[in-house]
Amino acid sequence: MSALSVDALRSRFQAALEAARTPADLKTLRDEFLSRKHGLVTALVKSIASATPDEKRTLGAASNALKQEIEAALDTREAEAAASAPPKDALDVTLPGRRPFLGRRHPLTQVRERVEDIFLAMGYQVIEGPELEDDWHNFEALNMPAEHPARDMQDTLYLASPVPVPDGGRAATLLRTHTSGMQIRYMETHEPPVRVIAPGRVYRRDQFDATHTPMFTQIEGLVVDEGISLGDLRGTLNGFAEQFFGGRVATRFRPSFFPYTEPSAELDVECQGCAGKGCNLCKHTGWIEILGCGMVHPAVFEAVGYDSDKYTGFAFGVGIERLALRLYGVDDIRMFYENDLRFLEQVAL
């Protein structure tokens, strides 16, 4: 080992220091020259032990000077790098960009819009009204007078005291159990022909379980004109089912009872899960009920001043949640309300 070796090591360090650009480069450089086990300066110091006594004095002083010089140079550069480094939480504009998350409308909103679009294409008008309703529009005008047993089917949520209805009318005493009240409100102020749908939230005193919820969205439809028949009702709803579920879908009408329609029926569609063969979703019947319907009862026309001898009409009502369950093959209505993004991202279109 000689002074020439010390100078060569110094030149090597200075060249490497000049090329260093980042804190990581400086750390690598410190390890390369000053590491206790493998550092080049450390090896230089250890080699002095084999030198002659005269060389030891000269090389010892030169090696210590080189070590101190390298340490000072690294300390200075590291301090400069730390002073110029951005804060830890600073935005690094050199990083590649992230694709933004695109939100989507809730599946129930999409189903409602899908239903509305189908009936708008058929020439229907969309109407909306108050969720606070009075007894007349929610029950009596729909052929459900006081003490009528059909009222028990509604599981009504009554208010503690009457309050004004937002758009006028009698004092509200309940949260509406269906949007059929909007059919009455519309007919009170419009003469036939009538072709409307009334979407909106409705309320029932139900438990929150897999098939029930105390608040849900319903769409009621009403058509009134001269010569409207049961065939018009069937053709309209068959067309709706085909449009909603895509392509031809088997349907059937079963007799039922609703106080504001006569005759009344329920519309079933072929189970989408098993193609009518029978499964747990359809309770092994091959059919799933999606809505109630029927010809408007003459008593309803009398309540709004329509001539029941001149006009006929049909009405229907469908729950958006029920359609969503069938469309997406889901068996628990609560999944639409729990705001679990893992589920919503799977079913949202």
* Per-residue model confidence as pLDDT tens digits over 301-325: 999 999 999 999 999 999 999 888 8
What percent of the chain clears pLDDT 90, i.e. is strictly above it?
A: 38
Q: Give CA separation, 308 vs 137, 230, 312, in Å.
A: 19, 15, 7
**Is the domain of 74 the same as that of 121?**
no
Residue 299 lies in a domain: yes
**pLDDT band at residue 327 under the 50/70/90 scheme:** confident
Q: From 84, 119, 151, give the residue that closes a domain.
A: 84
- Residue 232 sits at φ, ψ, to 5 deg, of -65, -40
Closest CA to 245 of 271, 265, 209: 271
| 292 confidence band (pLDDT: 50, 70, 90) | very high
Same domain, 298 and 161: yes
d(CA 306, CA 175): 27
Residue 124 lies in a domain: yes
Instruction: Judge if 119 and 208 occupy the same domain.
Output: yes
The pLDDT value given to residue 234: 94
Question: Looking at the structure, do residues 122 and 264 belong to the same domain, yes or no?
Answer: yes
Using the CB atoms, write b or e for 150-160: b if 16+ within 10 Å: ebeebebeeee
The domain total for the chain is: 2
Instruction: Answer yes or no: do 61 and 180 share one domain.
Output: no
**Cβ 295 vs Cβ 316: under 8 Å:** no
Position 256 confidence tier, pLDDT thresholds 50, 70, 90:
very high
Which structural domain, as residue segments, surrounds residue 291?
A: 107-347
Q: Are 199 and 219 in contact (CB under 8 A)?
A: yes
For residues 219 and 78, which has the higher predicted lDDT (pLDDT)?
219
pLDDT band, residue 4 (cuts 50/70/90):
low
The pLDDT score that the predictor gives to residue 1 is 44
Supply the CATH number for residue 211's domain: 3.30.930.10
Q: Is residue 96 part of a domain?
A: no
Please tell me which residue, 274 or 129, carries the higher pLDDT value: 129
User: Same domain for 194 and 274?
Assistant: yes
More confident call, 206 vs 305: 305
Higher pLDDT, 110 or 62: 110
Looking at residue 150, its pLDDT comes to 67
* 155 and 242, same domain (yes or no): yes
Given a cut of 60, whether residue 295 has pLDDT beyond it is: yes
Is-contact 145 171, C-beta < 8 A?
no
Domain co-membership, 37 together with 164: no
pLDDT of residue 161: 83
Range of weakest confidence among 19-23, 117-121, 170-174, 179-183: 170-174
In a domain, residue 100? The reply is no
Domain annotation covers residue 89? no
Render pLDDT for 166-200 as a digit per residue (tens, 0 to 9). Answer: 766 678 788 999 999 999 999 999 999 999 999 99
Asked if the model's pLDDT at residue 326 lies above 50, the reply is yes
pTM, two decimals, is 0.69
Using pLDDT thresholds of 50, 70 and 90, give the confidence band for residue 128. very high
**Gap between the Cα atoms of 308 and 305, Å rounded:** 9
Q: Do residue 135 and residue 24 come from a single domain?
A: no
Section 324-338 average pLDDT: 85
**pLDDT greater at residue 232 or residue 345:** 232
The answer on 183 and 40 residing in a single domain is no
* Greatest pairwise CA separation for the chain in angstroms: 132
Q: Which residues, other chains included, contact 263 with Cβ-Cβ below 8 Å and sequence gap of 6+?
A: 230, 255, 294, 295
Does residue 114 register a pLDDT over 60? yes
Q: Which residues of 287-308 are buried (b: 16+ CB within 10 A; e: fewer)?
A: bbbbbbbbbbbbbbbebbebee
Average pLDDT, the chain: 86
Domain membership flag for residue 79: yes
Q: Is residue 13 part of a domain?
A: yes
Token couple for 17: 């220091």
H-type alpha helices, the chain:
3-19, 23-34, 40-47, 53-84, 107-121, 135-138, 180-189, 230-245, 298-304, 320-328, 341-347
Q: Does residue 238 share a domain with residue 146? A: yes
Residue 45 lies in a domain: yes
Please report the pLDDT score of residue 233 as a whole number: 96
Q: Is the pLDDT of residue 88 over 80?
A: no
**Does residue 112 share a domain with residue 59?**
no
Highest mean pLDDT among 94-98, 123-127, 329-333: 123-127
Mean pLDDT over residues 111-132, rounded?
94
> What DSSP letter does each residue of 273-327 carry, written as one string?
TTTTS--TTTTTSSEEEEEEEEEEPHHHHHHHT--TTT-EEEEEEEEHHHHHHHH
